[in-house]
Amino acid sequence: MPYLSWMEGDQPFRHAVVEEPCLLGRDPVACAVAQPALGTVSPIHAALSRSGGLWRVKVLESADGSALNGVPLHPSQGHPLQDGDELVLGTWRLTFTEGFPGLDGATFVERVGDLFDEMQAHPGQTFLPELKQLYSATEKLLGEADSDALERTLLEESLRLMAGDRGFFVVRLKQGGWRTTHRLGAAGKESGPSPAVLDYATREHTAILSNQPQADPRFEAAGHPEQRRGPLLCAPLAEEGGLVGALYLDRGAEDRPFSRLDLAMLQAYVRRGSLVLRQARLQRHALGQAEQQGELLRLRNELQRDTERRGERLAAMAASLRRIQGWVQELPEAAGAAIRFQLEHLSTLLEEGQRGACLDAAPVAGHPLLVAALQADLAKRWDALLALRHAKLRLPAPPQGAIWCRGGPLQQALDGLVEPVIMQLPQDSEASLRWDHERGLQVLRLGLPAGLRGPAPDDWTQRTLQEAGVRWRWADQTLDVFLPEGPEAMPEEPARPLLGLVSEDLDLLGLFQTVAEAGDLLLNRLELVPPPPPLPKYRFLVIDAKEARDPQGTIRAYRHHPSFATTPILVVRCTEDDTPQLIEAGATDWLAEGFRWEALYHRLRVLRGHTELRQRALAAERLESFRQMAGTLKHEINNPLAVISMQVEMLQRKYPEEAKLAKIGEMVDRIQTLVQVLQKIRETPTEGYADGSSILRLG
C-alpha cells in the first residue's frame, strides 16, 4: 500500500493512500489528505488517482508553485509517481513511498526482494547452508498430505530455519479477528501473536521484520499491544481469493535481532508453503466431492435394487391374491362377501404399491366427487360387514354437493378407519349416518352404540387420509370425518423439519446437504450469533467447532435462545479434550474430525430417538401428576360434599316448599357426577384425533 508522508515541525505525518482517488489541499473537509497550516497551499490543490497500474498526481489550474522531484508540474496532465518521489505543493513537501515511510531497512523492514536478490547484496559471502536448510524444509513440506499436518510442519520448519523461540500459525476469521491453530516453542496459552502485527502484515500484503516492536512506527495507531519486546517476523499466507492466515515468529532476547536475509528466507519459504497448502486443500476438496458422489451413486443403486425387489414381491403377492379370489367364490354368501370385500381392499393396496415402485410415477391430480356417489359406494362396501354382524346402518338422503378427492384410494382409506369400529357392533345393533356442513367441509357423522372403542387406523390409512386432506375425530360414540369440498380447503403441506448448520466450510455444507436430503430435512445455514426470535422450530442444530472462534460461547448463545432451548445440538470436528466443556456448555453430542456421512446420519437418528423418548417421558410425567391430582381432589371433595348433601336433605324434609333447596340439591348432584368422572381418571379414557394425538375426556 503506498503512503504520502510529510513533516509539520518535528511531528511526522503519514497517510495511507487508498484505492479510490483522493484530493490534496488545505481544506480538511473536501480533501482526504489535508495540510491545514497557513501557506501557499490552495484549499484544493491537487488530485491523486490510479491509472494504468500507476498512481498519478495532477495539480489544479488555480494551483501554482508545484513540483515533482524539482520539476514543475503542469495542470494539463497527470504525472506518474514512483517510490521515493518528492512532491512539492506550494510550501507543502510530501514524499510518496510504495511502503510505510521512514523504515531504516535494518531494525524495521518490509517488502524485501527475492531471496537471491538479498544474497547478491552480500558479495563474497556463501549461503550454501541456508539454501540446504531451505531445500530440506521444502522437501519435508511436500511429504505431507493433510492440511492440518501441513500447517504444523510449515510452522516447525520456519521456526527451525529462523532459530525462533516461539511460533504461531494463525488463520483469519471471516467475521473478523484471528484464531491460532498451532503454537510451538515457548508459546504459552496466556500470550499469543500481536493482532496489530497480523493486521498490518495482511493489510499491506507483505512480510515484515521488527527488531524493536515497542518502538515500531507501523504499530503506533494500535498503541503497541505487543506482549513481548523481542524481535519478530510475520509473513502472510496468500491463496487464490485472498489472504487466509499468517505465520508469526519471535525471539525472547533483544540482543538476537533478525536480519533482512532472515525475512527474505521466511518470505520465500512461506510462499512455497502457501502453494503446497492450497494444493492439499484442493486435493482434499476433490476427494470429498468424489466420496460424496460415490456415496450418492451407491445409495441410488441400492434404492434401484430395493425397488426392483419390491416390485417382484408385489407381483408374486398379486398372483397369490388372484388365486384366493377364485377359491372364495364357493363360500357362503355373508362370509364370502366380507372376505371378497377384504380381498378387493388388498388388491387396491397392491396396485398402489406397484405404481409406487416406479421411481418416475407422476402424482394423481385431484378431482371432485359427489357426496351421493361417495355415500352409495361406502354403503355398498360396508354392507357385507354389517350383514356378517347382523347389524343395520340407517342412511339419510345424501345432501347436494361434492368433496375434493386429491387422488389415491380414499374409499379404501375410509374403510381402514371405519371397519374396525363396524366389526365391534353387537349382534342386531344399529348405527346411523348423517351429513353436516362446516366452513368448506362436508362432515360425515357415524353414530355408534355405547361401549365401542374408538378407531385406531394403521399407518397406511393414517397417511392416505392426511394426503387426501381428511381429518377425523372420535367423541361421544360418534366418528366425525371432515372431507374438504375443494382444493382451497385442503390443509397446507407441512414444511420439512429444519436442520440448522453453523459453518462456513463448503465441504461440510455439501456433506450436510446430502444427509439432510437422506433424512427428509431442510438444511438452513446459521451464523455464529443466533438470529433474533421468533424462529421456526429446528429438529437439529449442528455447530462446526473448527470454524467457530469460541465453540462454547456459540453453544451457550444458541442454548439460551428460546427457539433452541430444547433442540439437540451436535458439535462436529472437535477434539476429545474439548468435549467435556462443550457438553457442559449445552451440547447434546459430538463427532470428531474425519467422520463419514453414515456416522453423521446415524447420530442424527439417535438424537431424534432420544428427543422423542424425552417428550414421551415428560408427557407420561404430566399425566401421572394429573392422575394424582384427580385422586386428591376426589378425596378432598367427597367428604364435605357428603355433609352438605345430608344437611340439604334434612332441610328439604323440614321445608319442602323451599325452591332454593331443590336447586342446591341439583348442584350437589352435579358435583357428585364430576367427582365420579375424576374417579375414572385412572382408567385413562381418551379422545383420539387424526394426527394420532389424544386427550383425557372428563365427561
Per-residue pLDDT of 173-198, as tens digits, reads 877 788 888 988 875 555 778 888 98
Q: Could you identify the residue written with the cell 476429545?
A: 576
- The 3-state DSSP class for residue 501 equals strand
Average pLDDT over residues 84-95: 89
Mean pLDDT over each residue of the chain, to the nearest integer: 79
Average pLDDT over residues 98-103: 85
Per-residue pLDDT of 456-468, as tens digits, reads 887 778 878 888 8
CATH class as words, domain 3-97: mainly beta
The pTM for the full model equals 0.45
Per-residue pLDDT of 39-83, as tens digits, reads 778 888 888 888 878 898 988 866 667 889 988 888 877 889 998
Q: Is the pLDDT of residue 288 over 80?
A: no
Q: Could you identify the residue written with the cell 374403510?
A: 415
CB under 8 A, 24+ apart: contacts of 218-221: 218/100, 218/103, 218/108, 218/110, 219/194
Q: Is the pLDDT of residue 360 over 50?
A: no
Neighbours of 135 (CB within 10 A): 10
Task: Flag the least confident range among 17-31, 479-493, 540-554, 614-628.
Answer: 614-628
Q: Are strands 498-502 and 522-525 parallel, antiparallel or unpaired?
A: parallel
CATH class as words, domain 361-489: alpha beta
Q: Is the pLDDT of residue 129 over 80?
A: no
Task: Flag the least confident range among 223-227, 277-281, 351-355.
Answer: 223-227
User: DSSP string spanning 389-428?
Assistant: TT-EEE--PPPS-EEEE-SS-HHHHHHHHHHHHHTTPPTT
Q: Which of the pair, 578 or 77, is modelled with greater confidence? A: 578
pLDDT interval class at 357 (50, 70, 90) = very low
Q: Is the pLDDT of residue 358 over 70?
A: no
pLDDT attached to residue 433: 92
Q: Which regions of the chain carry the CATH code 3.30.450.40?
A: 108-285
User: DSSP string spanning 610-634?
Assistant: HHHHHHHHHHHHHHHHHHHHHHHHH
* Domain spanning 108-285: CATH superfamily: GAF domain (3.30.450.40)
Write the CATH number of the domain with boundaries 498-592: 3.40.50.2300
The whole-angstrom distance between residue 135's C-alpha and the CA centroid of its chain comes to 45
- The 3-state DSSP class for residue 244 equals strand
pLDDT attached to residue 207: 92
pLDDT attached to residue 432: 92
Q: What fold is seen in the domain 612-696? A: Helix Hairpins (1.10.287)
**Helix or strand holding residue 598 (H, E):** helix 597-654
Q: Which of the pair, 337 or 603, is modelled with greater confidence? A: 603
Average pLDDT over residues 635-642: 73
pLDDT attached to residue 363: 42
Task: Flag the least confident range among 297-306, 426-435, 488-497, 552-561.
Answer: 488-497
Cα dist from 13 to 94, 408, 521, whole Å: 10, 81, 59
Cα angle for residues 53, 55, 58 (degrees, 5° grid): 135
Q: Which regions of the chain carry the CATH code 1.10.287?
A: 612-696
Per-residue pLDDT of 225-265, as tens digits, reads 555 578 999 999 876 555 678 999 998 888 889 998 899 99
DSSP state of 508: H
Positive or negative: CA dihedral 660, 666, 669, 674: negative
Q: Which of the pair, 483 or 187, is modelled with greater confidence? A: 483
- The 3-state DSSP class for residue 224 equals coil
pLDDT attached to residue 476: 85
